[in-house]
Amino acid sequence: MYATTYHKAKTVDEAVKLVGQSESGKFLSGGMSLLPTMKQRLAAPSDLVDLRHIPEMKGISVSGSEVKIGGAATHYEIKESAELAKACYGLHSMASVLGDPQVRYMGTIGGSLANNDPAADYPAAMLALDATIHTNARTLKASEFFAGLLETALEDDEIVTAVSFTAPEKSGYEKFRNPASRYAMCGVFVAKTGSEVRVGVTGAGADGVFSWDEAASALSSNFSADAIKDLAVDPGELLSDLHGSSEYRANLVKVMAKRAVESAR
């Protein structure tokens, strides 16, 4: 790891200012993605500005069917929130299978979204929930936010301060873990509200997270695993690597989608 200077920001504005003033500063949340890259000397920010102690970025609130999660909320807080589990079962179940206990205690939803790892879990949930990403500068729809592998619509000095969405009637998440990293080799999030169904797929797409619209429309008239049993995903659009060919991932997308529908509550 290269030497770096650590700052603890008290407000979002202060954090933006600190990064702006630095030579090549970066925001730091859980550090669960950033620190490993620094240890491998693939990143060398001059300064790290910690966002986890900014009061306005903390907490989870559920009022009626409106859910808002602070950008600094940890995976653990998301997993443990009883209110959230009731409002959005899929997100609760997703956070339960994200990483391991150490990662869940440290990592945050804001950091994960900003990082947009193609195998991360949240992006599938955000698409399926049609979530809104709040930054210090604007709000974006999830579909506008993700921009391919490890790319987002964020500017360098833009902070994910919160995420909000309307709680679905039913939601579910099923994940097939990469045996080595335990990230998603394929994760499928389904959310249903009335006749509207969305299906977000992570870990499998060649260009990162995507919506599986064909499945969504089949499910909107018949919300059951049966409805998608004859659908197929084109392996040509999927990732192929050491752990799984695109054909295998195409199979996983379907199997996980069926299981997500079955487990949805």
Ligand X SMILES: Cc1cc2nc3c(=O)[nH]c(=O)nc-3n(C[C@H](O)[C@H](O)[C@H](O)COP(=O)(O)OP(=O)(O)OC[C@H]3O[C@@H](n4cnc5c(N)ncnc54)[C@H](O)[C@@H]3O)c2cc1C
- Cα 207 versus chain centre, distance: 15
Binding segment (CB under 6 A) for ligand X, from list 6-14, 25-33, 140-148, 190-198: 25-33
Closest to another protein by CB, 17 vs 182, is 182
Positive/negative CA dihedral, 39, 179, 170, 234: positive
- The whole-angstrom separation of Cα 96 and Cα 229 is 27
Closest to ligand X by CB, 235 vs 244, is 244
Binding mask 41-80 for ligand X (x = CB under 6 A): ----------x-------------------x---------
How big is the site for ligand X, counted in residues (CB under 6 A)?
31
Contacts by residues 73-76 (CB-CB < 8 Å, ≥ 24 positions apart): 73/108, 73/109, 73/110, 74/30, 74/104, 74/105, 74/106, 74/107, 74/108, 74/109, 75/99, 75/103, 75/104, 75/105, 75/107, 75/108, 75/109, 75/112, 76/101, 76/104, 76/105
Name the DSSP class of 74: B
Question: For ligand X, which residue of 9, 18, 27, 126 counts as binding (CB under 6 A)?
Answer: 27
Closest to ligand X by CB, 4 vs 61, is 4
Question: Taking CB within 5 to 8 Å according to partner kind, which of another protein, ligand X, none is near residue 205?
Answer: none
Question: Taking CB within 5 to 8 Å according to partner kind, which of another protein, ligand X, none is near residue 211?
Answer: none
Question: Taking CB within 5 to 8 Å according to partner kind, which of another protein, ligand X, none is near residue 33?
Answer: ligand X
DSSP string covering 199-231: EEEESSBTTS-EE-HHHHHHHHH--SGGGGTT-
By CB under 6 A, residue 205 contacts ligand X: no
By CB under 6 A, residue 185 contacts ligand X: no
By CB under 6 A, residue 98 contacts ligand X: yes
By CB under 6 A, residue 110 contacts ligand X: yes
Q: Which residues bind another protein (CB under 8 A)?
A: 1-3, 39-41, 176, 179-181, 242-245, 248, 251-252, 255
Measured in degrees and rounded to the nearest 5, phi and psi for residue 114 equal: -65, -35
Alpha helices in 60-212 (DSSP H): 75-80, 82-87, 89-96, 101-106, 109-115, 122-128, 142-145
- The whole-angstrom separation of Cα 113 and Cα 229 is 31
Question: Taking CB within 5 to 8 Å according to partner kind, which of ligand X, another protein, none is near residue 98?
Answer: ligand X
Cβ 103 to ligand X shortest distance, Å: 4
Closest to ligand X by CB, 62 vs 69, is 69
Q: Please give the residue ranges that form the binding site for ligand X (CB under 6 A).
A: 26-34, 36, 51, 71, 98-99, 103, 107-108, 110-112, 114-115, 117, 120-122, 154, 159-160, 182-183
